[in-house]
């Protein structure tokens, strides 16, 4: 099954820059997290707060990124994400970060998220409602 791709635009901030004068590698995952947070509410209509109200949260189980071209101070980017697949207690999200000015891909990758109960930190199954909300 193929799911929708959503996009969030954001700018490189001065504190994202490392001593080589480009975005530090760790910041790219921050960009994906910020984009997903935005898209959960804006695009899916089921925000992180909706999960938290139910005593649930998301943790990263696995993550992979391929760096293709650096982002630098002053760059704007488009962070595109899409659900790639669901499993019993999680979701795999693929992402592409594109330099808005050049139109070239800066990085690609994926994250495997696990849904957990906030009280125990243990994984829990996705409900049919959650899968339906994120299956667009």
Does residue 43 have a pLDDT over 90? yes
Q: Which domains does the chain have, with CATH numbers?
A: 5-133 (3.10.129.10)
Q: How does residue 9 score in pLDDT terms, banded at 50, 70 and 90?
A: very high
Give percent of the chain with pLDDT exceeding 70: 100
Give the 3-state secondary structure percentages of the chain, helix then strand then coil, rounded to 5.
25, 40, 35
Calculate the CA dihedral of residues 114, 95, 46, 12 and round it to 10 degrees.
110
Q: What predicted TM-score, i.e. pTM, was given to this entire model?
A: 0.95
The string of pLDDT tens digits covering residues 22-41 is 999 999 999 999 999 999 99
């Amino acid at each position: 099954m193929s799911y929708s791709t959503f996009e969030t635009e954001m700018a490189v901030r001065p504190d994202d820059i490392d001593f080589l004068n480009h975005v530090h590698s760790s910041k790219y995952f921050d960009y994906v997290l910020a984009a997903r947070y935005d898209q959960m509410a804006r695009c899916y209509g089921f925000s992180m707060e909706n999960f938290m109200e139910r005593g649930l949260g998301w943790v990263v189980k696995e993550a992979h990124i391929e760096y293709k071209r650096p982002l630098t101070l002053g760059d704007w980017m488009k962070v595109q994400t899409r659900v790639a697949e669901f499993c019993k207690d999680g979701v795999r999200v693929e992402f592409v970060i594109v330099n808005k000015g050049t139109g070239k891909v800066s990085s690609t990758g994926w994250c495997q998220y696990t849904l957990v109960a906030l009280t125990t930190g243990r994984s829990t199954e996705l409900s049919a409602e959650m899968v339906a909300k994120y299956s667009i």
